[in-house]
Structure 1
Amino acid sequence: SDGAKALESGSQQLSEGIGSLSEGLGNAETGANALSEGLTTLDEGGKALAQGAGQLSDSSAQLSAGAKSLSDGATALSDGIGTLADGSESLIGGLDSLFDGIDKLSAGNSTLNGGLAQLSEGAGTLVGGTSQLSSGADSLSGGVVQLYDGAVSLDNGLAQISEGSGTLVSGTVKLSDGAVSLGSGIVQLYDGASSLDSGLSQLLGGSNKLASGSKTLADSTIKLSAGAKSLSGGAGTLSAGIGTLADGSKALIDGVGKLKDGAVELDDGMKKFYNDGISKIKNIADDELSGLVDNFKAVREVSQEYTSYSGISDDMDGTVKFIYTFDGTD
Structure 2
Amino acid sequence: VTLKCIPAMAVGCTMVLKPSEIAPLSSIVFSEIMDAVGLPAGVYNMVNGDGPGVGTQLSGHPDVDMVSFTGSTRAGALITKNAADTVKRVSLELGGKGANIIYADADDKAVKRGVLHCMQNSGQSCNAPTRMLVERPVYDQAVETAAEVAKSIKVGPADKEGRHIGPVVSELQYGKIQDMIQKGIDEGARLVAGGLGRPDGLNRGYYVRPTVFADVSNDMAIAQQEIFGPVLSIIPFDTEEQALEMANDTVYGLTNYVQTQDHAKANRAARVLRSGMVEINGTSRGAGAPFGGYKQSGSGREGGVWGLDDFLEVKSVSGWVE
Which protein shows a greater Rg? 1
Greater relative CO, 1 or 2 (CA 8 Å, sep 6+): 1
Q: TM-score, normalised by structure 1?
A: 0.16
TM-score by length of 2: 0.16
